[in-house]
A and B are shown apart, each in its own frame.
Chain A
Amino acid sequence: MSQQNGHKSSGGVVQRPTNPVGIVGYGAYVPRYRLPGSEIARVWTGGVGGSPVKEKAVAGLDEDVVTMSIEAARNALTRAQIDPTDIRAVWVGSESHPYAVKPTSTMVAEAIGAVPNTLAADWEFACKAGSEAVQAGIGFVGSSMGRYVMSIGMDIAQGRPGDALEYTAAAGGAAFIIGPAEDSLAVYEGTYSFVTDTPDFWRRAGESYPSHGDRFTGEPAYFNHTISAAETIMQEMGLTPADFDYAVFHQPNVKFPGRAGKMLGFTPEQLQTGMLVNEIGNVYSGSSLIGLSAILDEATPDSLILYVSYGSGAGSDAMVIRTTERLAERQGLARSTRDYIARRTEIDYALYTRYRGKLKMH
């Protein structure tokens, strides 16, 4: 298409901003309720058959993507120790914005004190909406349009009762403040996205629950995009799996990211720190980002991290991130991802139906 327009490709596919950019602060949020997979199986399959995760995080009656984003954003601000009025964009990626029309991002911006001199918008690209907002933040800060950007991936994922996705569709996510590399606790060394039109999972406008292409969600969707994005960025940057201390992938279940990591040549140890899905489920737009936040909680300075998101429809964003000396001094300033995971209150399926509005009241 570019040649038809008379333009030629400019070459390299790995993207880097003009000015180096990194993560100034980050913060996670996971609600406290947990629904075990065995409880879903008890209701729908008579307990026969396994669950793709041990349990999933469920939001309470008074929580949604706005409230969860606000708490993660406040944690990110606490770590960054910046003035919120210096934030020039607040972007929230989610599949479960509470309004169809009225931005989540303006409410988050209001709550953290970033209004009024800021951009604000909600992003949508299935499970990689938040990761896309991070990339946009890299470009925005890297071109000096603003000093700081708040990019958030947060979801309360919808799973149709009885559907395979109900075992994993969960609530949680993370917020990242993108800023100049000299202020950062980790620096983006490169980012690359691999995108095609792939009909693996979708939700039509007005529908309460998503639809999916069953087995089609695997090879042509998750694995093709995740593996292609990871292989390309490593090849273009002259890196191999052995160069990385950590790797984190989108986590729709336990099996997929584990297999993707193995196919690429990563060891289970490299994946372990960022692998949260067995304990909190698939938090969709927040999945790979909260995995990254768990890694940043434990990493030491000068660690190399491979981050790869996946969003249905479909695409993967691969990023190479190196931690800096500033990480150690900011890790403990706010609650860790593990602090939230440890805050666990188990509920049964009956309470789950009330908390998630699945009861027909009239």
Chain B
Amino acid sequence: MEVVNYWRMKKQRFGLEGATQPRRDAGESMYHEDTLPHTNGNGSAAATLTLQAERTETTPVDLFTKGVVYSWTTVYNAPAGFDAQAPYTLAMIELDDGSLLTAQLTDVDGEPEIGQRVEMVTRLLRTDGEAGVIIYGYKFRPVLDH
């Protein structure tokens, strides 16, 4: 199953690719109502995307890679496969294009702040045991100034 998910979600996980569907009342913003949920970090939202995709034709779109922390929580009792990195912070991120998605935060010490600027990085999410595939994907970290 991991291999199937890996294959299906590689564009989302590596490239932060989302999907839009045409509005029924054409015009206005293409985001918010139209952006499909992506993933919540443990892969379960992939099913949502698939169901939506079956009902409606969607168009891939590169989501913005910066945004702000919309809300967050700390996971101490992590689901199987994620325990190696626990405790970790799970956050809802409001991207600069208006989309809202769920992802882990990384490179944070202590508690993040609501509204804190964050940027997408590709990190190791989990491994499928000792011999299985390594799952990489997007996380968000506080924006590095330069």
Contacts from A to B (Cβ < 8 Å): 32, 60-64, 66-67, 70-71, 98-99, 107, 110-111, 113, 332, 334-336, 339, 343, 345
In the docked arrangement, what's the CA distance between A64 and B144, Å?
20
The listed residue with most A CB atoms (<10 A of its CB), out of B15, B109, B122, B139, is: B122
Q: A62-B85, A110-B10 are in contact. Are A32 and B121 (CB under 8 A)?
A: no
The docked-state distance in angstroms from the alpha carbon of A3 to that of B94 is 68
CA distance A248 to B42 in the complex (A): 44
Question: Inter-chain contact count A-B, CB under 8 Å?
Answer: 51
| From B84, B107, B139, contact of A32 by CB (8 A) | B107
Query: B134 is contacted by which of A71, A98, A336 (Cβ under 8 Å)?
Result: A98
17 new A-B contacts at CB < 8 Å, known A111-B136, A339-B144, A339-B146: A32-B107, A61-B85, A63-B123, A63-B124, A66-B134, A66-B136, A67-B121, A67-B136, A70-B122, A71-B121, A71-B122, A99-B134, A110-B10, A111-B122, A113-B15, A334-B146, A335-B146
Residues from chain A with Cβ under 8 Å of B107 in the complex:
32, 60
CA distance A334 to B106 in the complex (A): 20
How would residues 97 to 116 of chain B score, 1 for a CB under 8 Å from any chain A CB and 0 otherwise? 00000000011010000000
CB-CB nearest in chain B for A99: B134
Inter-chain contacts of B53 with A (CB < 8 A): none
Q: 4 tightest CB-CB pairs across the interface, nearest first?
A: A62-B123, A335-B146, A111-B14, A62-B124
B125 within 8 A of A: yes
- Of the candidates B15, B125, B146, the one whose C-beta lies within 8 Å of that of A336 is B146
Evaluate contact between B146 and A62: CB separation under 8 angstroms.
no
Looking at chain B's contact residues, the main secondary structure is mixed
Main secondary structure of the interface of A (DSSP, over half): loop
B window 47-86: CB within 8 A of A: 84-85
Interface size on B, residues (CB 8 A): 19
Contact mask for chain B residues 13-30; partner A; CB cutoff 8 A; 1 contact, 0 none: 011000000000000000
Q: Are B146 and A60 in contact (CB under 8 A)?
A: no
* Chain B residues positioned under 8 Å from A343 (CB to CB): 144
| 27 sampled A-B residue pairs with Cβ under 8 A | A61-B84, A61-B85, A62-B85, A62-B125, A62-B139, A63-B123, A63-B124, A66-B122, A66-B124, A66-B136, A67-B122, A67-B124, A70-B14, A70-B122, A71-B122, A99-B134, A107-B136, A110-B14, A110-B15, A111-B14, A111-B136, A113-B15, A335-B144, A335-B146, A336-B146, A339-B144, A345-B109
In the docked arrangement, what's the CA distance between A273 and B145, Å?
21
B127-145 with Cβ < 8 A to chain A:
134, 136, 139, 144-145
Q: Which residues of B contact A63 (CB under 8 A)?
A: 123-124
Question: CA separation between A290 and B14, bound complex, in Å?
Answer: 24
Q: Is the CB of A111 within 8 A of B134?
A: no
